[in-house]
Structure 1
Amino acid sequence: MMDYQLLEALHAIVNEGGFERAANKLFITQSAISRRIQSLELLLGEPVLIRSKPPKPTGKGIRLLNHFQQVLQLEMELNIDSLADTAASAMPITIRLATNRDSLATWLPEALSILNGLDQQQVKFELLVDDQSVVLNKMKSGEVMTCISSEPNAINGGKVSYLGMLRYRAVASPAFLSKYKVNVAQDLVKCPCLIFDENDNLQHQFLADVVKSDTDFVHLLPCPEGFKQALIAGVGYGMLPELQCVDALAENKLIILGDEYSIDVPLYWHYWQSEAPQLKALRTQALTVSSLRLFQPDK
């Protein structure tokens, strides 16, 4: 039978980004956590960690982390704790959730508040943020318990619930349009464009759909609120969630481009089949909030 303290050590090292921080989290020495990893690798006959900075799981390590997340949820569901002899078990339950940045900047915080009122063990959140097109990789690798993604298909051992569409608008400030003499959408091709990161293709999709062109003149700005403020300041134009720019549109700080053009990005809540009560409550609240805040094509 697998010793889950060994998997707990692997989980802590990957999540904390190193042996020393993982040892501190588990209230053990660094040599003790190293021995646990050595024991795990000896048991399996192959490495579970790539000794890089930070350490990364091998293929086998990813499968073990994936399994460990499901075990943690099953224990939460059954109200047991196989790691009860560790000091860390006295800490609040940690829910690790991976999400796209724009959900976190708009509707998701309202859903997260549900657990504050539940009469049960304390809960704390650890949120990992990435683009909606790639964030599911964090659940596949066993880093998180649940995930918000644009991928409609459930991963092995998981389930998926549809949340709704996050609608994006192409916007720019009046000052930007005046400065670059933008009168029609085609004038945007040579203007500076804002993107969040290398996975953000919404602006390129807007140009391809509306102008039948693309641009290499981009500013990289990986901060949701900073992205919005840069648009208002006239640094560039870009795609912003409609939920995030309603106030700026009403105050004429931003103007919609491309004849009311929009991109609707579908979002899905991914979770393991062995779903703990706390996570079920969170998912139920997320579905309620998203049904009110996100665009629902069938309504």
Structure 2
Amino acid sequence: MIDYRLLQALSAVVEQGGFEKAGLVLHLTQSAISRRIKQLESVLGQPVLLRSSPPVPTAAGQRLLNHLQQVRQMETALGLTDDPQDLVVRLATNADSLATWLPEALVLPEQQAVRFDLVVEDQSVGLKRMKQGDVMACICASPQPVNGGAVMALGALRYRAVASPAFIQRYQLHQQFEKRISQAPCLVFNQDDQLQHQYLQHVAQAVPQRFHLCPSSEGFLKATLAGLGFGLLPELQMQSQLESGELVDLTPGYSLDTELYWHYWQSESPLMYQLRQNVLQVAGRFLSGSE
């Protein structure tokens, strides 16, 4: 069994950004903090910190920090602690959810001292964070739960292929559409993003010939408005631009729906249960096909 004083030292080093500051918070000397970290690593047989500036937890260190936060959440719910420190929830999410519906879901109905540590991953690969024990919950496109976890369907984020009027004119997409759209530059979020590839395969039996990597949901929208490329954007994110004519739907009636799921650990604290219910309620108002 791990001594929780060692985990508290690890948490303090990461949160405070160094051994000396961690010592001040825990009323210990810097050398005492260092000894506790070394003792923890000796127990585990592997490092828990990268000695960078500031120190960064290893994968094993992050799993321990998540475990400590779960314990703190349970203690708070049971009234076993008067410690006013914030509870930390580490959550993996896709960028488009973060740019649209998710922030409202993170505002919990009860006043609680909660800090979110949001990890942004493409919805196609976000589940790896759960498998690694790196996060407490995950929003992604996979319906398969990890070992020790459970999953809840949230609904679908609907995407449409859009471009600016100037882009359509520049690449003459109003004629010979299938040929020209496959040659026109598109925007891709990152190497894991396959939405544009799916779209071109569906409408033109082609793959992107030219694309710009744009790993920002807000930047993706602005780049599309500026005419840098065409791309698939969530309806939730660009509805006003469609209505105003700043963006044009390239294939009216066509959409790509990305099903989203909430993954969580079965050993769920009351705080994580409350968060899950809030996420389900807000997703039900914004995502397609949800109830």
**2:202 equivalent to 1:201:** no
Structure 1 stretches lacking a partner, 5+ long: none
Indicate conservation of the 8 Å contact 1:66/1:140, yes or no: no
Q: Does 1:131 align with 2:122?
A: yes
Counterpart mapping for 1:90-169 below 5 A: 90-113=84-107, 115=108, 117-119=109-111, 121-169=112-160
Shift of 1:15: 7.1
Matched residue SS, 2:106: helix
Residue 282 (1) aligns with residue 283 (2): no
Q: Quick check: 1:146–1:272 contact (8 Å CA) kept in 2?
A: yes
2:239 paired with 1:240? no
Tell me if 1:57 matches 2:58: yes
User: Mind listing any 5+ residue stretches in structure 2 that lack a counterpart?
Assistant: none
Q: Name the CA distance, whole Å, in 1 between partners of 2:121 and 2:27.
A: 30
Residues 279 and 55 (structure 1), Cα distance of their counterparts in 2 relative to 1, 3 Å cut: closer
The separation in 2 between residues aligned to 1:21 and 1:258, in whole angstroms, is 56
Coordinate RMSD, CA, aligned: 2.8
Number of residue pairs aligned between Structure 1 and Structure 2:
288
Query: What percentage of aligned pairs have identical amino acids?
Result: 51
One-letter amino acid of the counterpart of residue 178, structure 2: A
Q: Which residue matches 1:180?
A: 171
Distance 1:193 1:55 in 2: 36
Match of 1:227 among 205, 217, 220: 220
Q: Report how far residue 21 of structure 1 moved.
A: 7.2
Task: Flag the 1:33–1:169 CA change in 2: closer, same or farther, 3 A.
Answer: farther
Over 3 Å counting, the alpha-carbon distance change for 1:41 and 1:171 in structure 2 is same
Contact 1:185/1:257 (8 A) holds in 2? no
TM-score computed with the length of structure 2 as normaliser: 0.85
Counterpart for residue 7 of structure 2: 7
AA partner of residue 131 (structure 1)? D
Partner of 1:170: 161
> Which TM-score applies when normalising by structure 1?
0.83
User: Is 1:35 the equivalent of 2:28?
Assistant: no
Instruction: Provide Cα deviations, 1:265-296, integer angstroms capped at 9, x if missing partner.
Output: 11111222232222222211211111111000
User: What is the CA–CA distance in structure 2 between the aligned matches of 1:182 and 1:171, rounded to whole Å?
Assistant: 12
CA distance in 2, matches of 1:42, 1:127: 30
The 3-state SS of whatever aligns with 1:39 is helix
Q: State the one-letter code of the partner of 1:3.
A: D
Measure the CA separation in 1 of the matches of 2:7 and 2:155: 35
Q: Is the 8 A contact 1:191 1:217 kept in 2?
A: yes
Give CA-to-partner distance per residue, 1:44-67, whole Å, 9 cap, x none. Answer: 344445657764525x55664564
- Asked whether the equivalents of residues 65 and 143 of structure 1 are also in contact (C-alpha less than 8 Å), the reply is no
Measured in 2, the distance between the counterparts of 1:11 and 1:140 equals 22
Q: Given that residues 105 and 279 in structure 2 are in contact (C-alpha distance below 8 angstroms), is that contact kept between their aligned partners in structure 1? A: yes
1:132 alignment partner, SS class: coil
Structure 2 counterpart SS, 1:268: strand
Contact 1:14 1:57 in 2 (8 A): no
The 3-state SS of whatever aligns with 2:258 is: strand
Q: Deviations over 1:222-246 (max 9, x none)?
A: 2212211111111100010011111
Q: Find the aligned partners of 2:25 and 2:162 in 1 and give their Cα distance.
A: 44
After TM superposition, give the deviation of residue 23 of structure 1 in Å: 6.1
- Pick closer, same or farther for the CA change 1:148–1:16 going to 2, 3 Å: farther
Measured after TM superposition, the shift of residue 134 of structure 1 is 2.0
1:197 deviates by 1.5
